[in-house]
Amino acid sequence: MNSLGPTLLAIDDEPGILALVERFARTLQFNVVCHDGASGVLAEIDELRPDVVLVDLQMPEINGLEVLRAIRDVDPECAVVLMTAHASVDTAIEAVKLGALDYLTKPLDFDRLRGLLTTVLKGIERREALLEIDADVARRFEFHGTIGRSAAMQDLFDSIRRLAPHVRTLLITGETGTGKELVARAFQQLGPRRQGRFLTVNCSAVVDALFESELFGHQRGAFTGATETKVGLFEHADGGTLFLDEVGELPLSVQPKLLRAVEYGDVQRVGSLETRHVDVRVIAATSRDLRAEGAAGRFRSDLYFRLNVLEIHLPPLRDRREDIPLLTAAFVRENAARLQRPLTGVTTAAERALQESQWPGNIRELRNVLERACLLSEARILGEREVRQAMRIGSSAAGALEHASAATEPPTVGDSLSSAQRGQIDRVLRQARGNKTEAARLLGISRRSLYRWLDRLGHAEPKASQPGH
């Protein structure tokens, strides 16, 4: 449908007009869909996502202004042109006030129609060109996978370039999703150890009791369950870089040993008296305020000061909104390639929605929202609707689609889901190759919610014959 070119929907009870409009719009490369009345059209608009609708003002059942209002509700960005045999200035003004692009009198003036359709086409082309430009700028301003053209990010790239060859210890701070890990990797790539290993420890994921052995290793028999001697991450990373992610979660008990390892390169396996020397560059990252953690007794200040020899702070996305269009373009392009869909950009209204959001989850959240919006969208250009829907899904862990359909527990099975939503679910399932866990993740809902929705859609529950799904 939409993916092949712009789509025009014509609605008129006179078949002659429909035929004329159809022939004419085809010459301008529009896909044309015709309807001889307004009933059933709104559901179709939801599905078809036309770029422009031509609608007759006077039809037997519903009049054109009502259709216009309804279209604006469903898809505020769709261009609507009204046609009438009885021109009246009042209805024309009313129509334009309601958001119509323009008003044509019958018999149709094809020059004016061409003018209007060309405006629509130009608008689409401009948006696509903008994305193209932003994606190119994003590529040019990319710094080892990190995109940013804001002054804050440019300064940061500059610091990394200058410092990376010299720094041994580094603390990267910033809210969740701001790109701390990307920056850690950039440091590694630009430093003298790019050939060495880059090992990551996620400090929030290690069980307290195993921390010491994880980092420093243990001797066989050092504790119950230590059946083999184990080499710790510090020794593994010798000559390379150890990335301590979420270092604020590190148990207090391990901190003195870590301080010694960072300061002198001395490590000791659990259960061994022997001290080994390693040459490891330590990059730590945290979304917590370690100074405050220190004051509260949850983090040793001496370790904090040692890690903090150099601190790189990543500003939250809401403080560098000028990066949003670039990131958007890059992420849409990435998804288009991955999904093999001709997605080319976002509409102006969608861009505004993205600009105005607070992004508590920062770039990760933006990336996820765009991934979902790309999955939800049928059109070439992501609209405000898909973007807002994708944002809601992200913010309501409890149940995205519930929210999207504005009904928590619809009384009638199946009815509450629009065909567009059925389409979305089917599309996401296809994208996830039928894997329900993956589909639920993409939709931002729990597996159980997904099953509930599949149930409503009349999809068969997966039986034991489909293990792993």
Ligand X SMILES: Nc1ncnc2c1ncn2[C@@H]1O[C@H](COP(=O)(O)OP(=O)(O)OP(=O)(O)O)[C@@H](O)[C@H]1O
Residues that bind ligand X (CB under 6 A): 146-148, 174, 176-182, 287, 327, 363-364, 367
14 binds Mg ion (CB under 5 A): no
Sequence-ordered list of residues with C-beta below 8 angstroms from that of 309, at least 6 positions apart, any chain: 167, 168, 169, 170, 171
Tell me how far, at minimum, the Cβ of 133 lies from ligand X, in Å.
17
Tell me how far, at minimum, the Cβ of 149 lies from ligand X, in Å.
10
175 binds Mg ion (CB under 5 A): no
**233 vs 213: CA distance, rounded Å:** 9
**469 vs 466: CA distance, rounded Å:** 6
Residues 187-206, one symbol each (x = binds Mg ion by CB under 5 A, - = not), give --------------------
Tell me how far, at minimum, the Cβ of 181 lies from Mg ion, in Å.
4
- Dihedral-angle region of residue 174 (phi above 0 means left; psi in -120 to 50 means alpha; beta otherwise): left
Across-strand partners of 243? 200, 283
- Of 105 and 200, the one with the shorter C-beta distance to ligand X is 200
**178 vs 163: CA distance, rounded Å:** 20
- Of 103 and 143, the one with the shorter C-beta distance to ligand X is 143
Interface segment toward Mg ion; rule CB under 5 A; list 69-77, 180-188, 331-339, 346-354 = 180-188
- Evaluate whether 403 touches 413 at the Cβ level (below 8 Å): no
Tell me how far, at minimum, the Cβ of 200 lies from Mg ion, in Å.
9
181 binds Mg ion (CB under 5 A): yes
- Dihedral-angle region of residue 267 (phi above 0 means left; psi in -120 to 50 means alpha; beta otherwise): beta
Buried b (16+ CB within 10 A) or exposed e, 113-135: beebbeebbebbeebbebbeebb
- Of 183 and 303, the one with the shorter C-beta distance to Mg ion is 183
- Of 128 and 181, the one with the shorter C-beta distance to Mg ion is 181
- Of 113 and 370, the one with the shorter C-beta distance to ligand X is 370
- Evaluate whether 186 touches 143 at the Cβ level (below 8 Å): yes
- Of 17 and 285, the one with the shorter C-beta distance to ligand X is 285
- Of 167 and 182, the one with the shorter C-beta distance to ligand X is 182
Nearest-CB residue to ligand X?
A: 179
**55 vs 18: CA distance, rounded Å:** 10
**353 vs 359: CA distance, rounded Å:** 11
- Evaluate whether 47 touches 376 at the Cβ level (below 8 Å): no
Tell me how far, at minimum, the Cβ of 45 lies from ligand X, in Å.
35
Interface segment toward Mg ion; rule CB under 5 A; list 22-30, 177-185, 275-283, 324-332 = 177-185
Tell me how far, at minimum, the Cβ of 246 lies from ligand X, in Å.
7
Tell me how far, at minimum, the Cβ of 180 lies from Mg ion, in Å.
5
Residues 273-312, one symbol each (x = binds Mg ion by CB under 5 A, - = not), give ----------------------------------------
Helix residue spans in 36-144 (DSSP H): 41-48, 64-74, 89-97, 110-140
Binding site for Mg ion (CB under 5 A): 181
